[in-house]
Chain A
C-alpha cells in the first residue's frame, strides 16, 4: 500500500520546551493509525505541524508524495488532509448547514453542489435535523460531530481526528467508534489522537506512542499492551483489552 503521509524526523521547539523530537512515522492508504501518549506529549503539536499551522524546526512532512513542510493549512486541506480541533471551533454565528458547506466548497465550486454534499455529510453525522441551528446553540457532542462533518465535507483522503471521544459517555464512545469505522470503510485514511484507550485500541490497526515529544513505541495495539516502555509511560488505565 502506498504511503499517504510520511512524517520524517520532525522536531519543534517552543522557547525552552522541546515539543517534538525527531518524530517519524507513516500512514499508508486505508490505515487507521492511532497516536497516544500522556498529556503534554506533543500530540496536538504534531497535528499542527502536519497540517501547516506552524512549520517544524527540522524534518519533513510528505503528503501524497509532495513535500508540504510548512505549507499553509488551506493548501494542505486542498491536497486532501482535513483535521478536527481538540477544543472544537464551531462557526458560532453560522448555521450547521453553512458550516458543513464551507467544508464542501473545498472541492465543489458551486453552491448547489456544495449544499448537496454538506447535507450528505450532515446526514452521516446525524446532524441533518439541526441544519438551521446556529453553531453557538450546539451541545459539546454536537460540536464535535460538526467538526467532523466539516472536515469530512472537504472530501479528504486523510482525516486527522483530535480527541473526538473525549468527554463522551460509554454508549456515545461506541457510536463514535462505529462512525470512524464507517468513515474509514468509505475510503478515508484516519490518523487519530485519542486518550480514550478503548476507542483508539479498537479502531487502530497501528499505534504510535509519544512521550515528551519522542516516539517511544510503535506497533499493533495488542503488541503495545505488553510493552514495558508504554506501560511505564502511560498505560495502566481502567480500560484494558488484554
Chain B
C-alpha cells in the first residue's frame, strides 16, 4: 500500500500543473517539519513552542555558508542541522537542570525563539531585519532549480526519509526511552531511564531535523529574514499538523500537516474562484473550528480514526 502511494506520488508531476505542484511542495515541507517537531513533542512529550529557533538556524546556516564560503547548500543543510542540534542540546542541558515542565517549559522555548529573533534582527553579519535574498538560478549542484518539479522530488525524498526515521525510532530502544519519558518521568527513572539525558537527546535530534526544513525553505522561497523564519508561523505549522494528525505516530503528523498546509495553499491558487481573499480567510476560520473540534473530541488526533497509536 505504501509502495502504491509512493509510486503515485512520484508520478504526480506528470499530470499536475505548477499550482498544484507548489501546493504539494508546501504540504510535503509542512509534513516534514511536523514530523521533526513530533520527535520531541510527540514521542518524548517535550512540548516546545520555540522550534522556529531551529528552523531559522537551518535557513540561515546553509544560506550564509553558501554566500560566504561557496559551500553547496546540499552540504550546508547538514551543517545547519549539526549547528541546530548543538544549540538544542545546549538549551536542553541548561533548561532541564531546573525541572521545568508543561507550560513553563513551553514558555522557556518560546522565549528562546524570541530572543533569537531579537538577536538576529540586530546582527549585521546576517543583514539583520533586511534579510537575505538568494538569486533564482539553475544550479542543481547548489540546490537551485528553476522549475518546481525538482523541488517536489527533494521534498518528497525528505519526507520519505523522515517517515523512515520516525518508524525506526519507534522500534528502537531510544524510542522506548522517549515514550517512557513522555508517559511518566518518575517511573521511567525508577526503571533505569536517564530522563535528563534522553530529554536532551530528544530536543537535539528534533532540532537538527527541523533545521533541514529551514534550509529547504531558504532554497525554495529564496528569501529569508528574522520576520520570516524566526517567527511563530513555522512553529504553528509543525504543531497544528502534529496535534491534529496524531502526535506520537509516524503518519499522524503527515496527515495533519498535509491537510492544513496543502489545502490552504491550493485554495489560495484556485484560478476560477473570485473573492479568493475571502475564501482563504473563511477557510482558515473553518480550520480553526476543525482544530478545536478534533482536539476536544479526538485528542489522539485524526489518525485514531484508523487505528490505535504507538
Indicate, yes or no, whether A interacts with B.
Answer: yes
Are A74 and B195 in contact (CB-based, < 8 A)? yes
| Main SS class of interface, B | helix
In whole angstroms, what is the CA distance A92 to B173 when docked?
19
User: How many whole Å from B103's CB to the nearest CB in chain A?
Assistant: 20
- B277 CB–A CB distance under 8 Å: no
Q: Could you mark each residue 143-182 of chain B with 1 if its beta carbon is under 8 Å from any beta carbon of chain A, else 0?
A: 0000000000000000000000000000111001101100
Query: Would you give the 0/1 interface string for B246-261, flagging 1 where the beta carbon is closer than 8 Å to chain A?
Result: 0010000000000000
Q: Write out the residue numbers on chain B whose beta carbons fall within 8 Å of the beta carbon of A98.
A: 176, 179
Contact B184 A102 (CB under 8 A): no
Residues of A within 8 A of B173 (CB): 105, 109-111, 114
Q: Closest CB of chain A to B65's CB: distance in Å?
A: 37
Provide the bound-state CA to CA distance between A85 and B248, in Å.
26
Residues of B within 8 A of A134 (CB): 308
Q: Is the CB of A102 within 8 A of B176?
A: yes
* Chain A proximity mask over B117-161: 1 for CB below 8 Å, otherwise 0: 000000000000000000000000000000000000000000000
Chain A CB within 8 A of B284 CB:
no
Contact present for B186 and A89 (CB under 8 Å): yes
A85 B187 Cβ-Cβ under 8 A: yes
Given that A74-B194, A74-B195 are contacting pairs, would A91 and B180 also be in contact in the complex, using a CB cutoff of 8 Å?
yes
Instruction: Using CB atoms, name the residue of chain B closest to A93.
Output: B183
Q: Across the interface, which residues of B come within 8 angstroms of A106, CB to CB?
A: 191-192
Kindly count the residue-residue contacts between A and B in the assembled complex, taking CB atoms under 8 Å apart: 83
Which residues 282-310 of B sit at the A interface, judged by CB distance below 8 A? 308-309
Contact A105/B176 with A77-B190, A93-B309 known, Cβ cut-off 8 Å = yes
Instruction: Kindly supply a per-residue 1/0 record for chain B positions 91-132, scoring 1 wherever the CB is within 8 Å of any chain A CB and 0 otherwise.
Output: 000000000000000000000000000000000000000000
Q: A169 to nearest B CB, angstroms?
A: 26
Q: Does B188 contact A (CB under 8 A)?
A: yes
Q: Does A101 lie at the interface of the complex (its beta carbon under 8 Å from any beta carbon of B)?
A: yes
B263 beta carbon closer than 8 Å to chain A = no
Q: How far is the CB of B277 from chain A (nearest CB, A)?
A: 42
List residues of chain A with CB within 8 A of the CB of B177.
102, 105
> What's the Cα separation between A134 and B310 when bound, in Å?
10
5 tightest A-B CB contacts, nearest first: A106-B192, A91-B183, A77-B192, A73-B189, A89-B187
Contacts from B to A (Cβ < 8 Å): 171-173, 176-177, 179-180, 183-184, 186-196, 248, 308-309
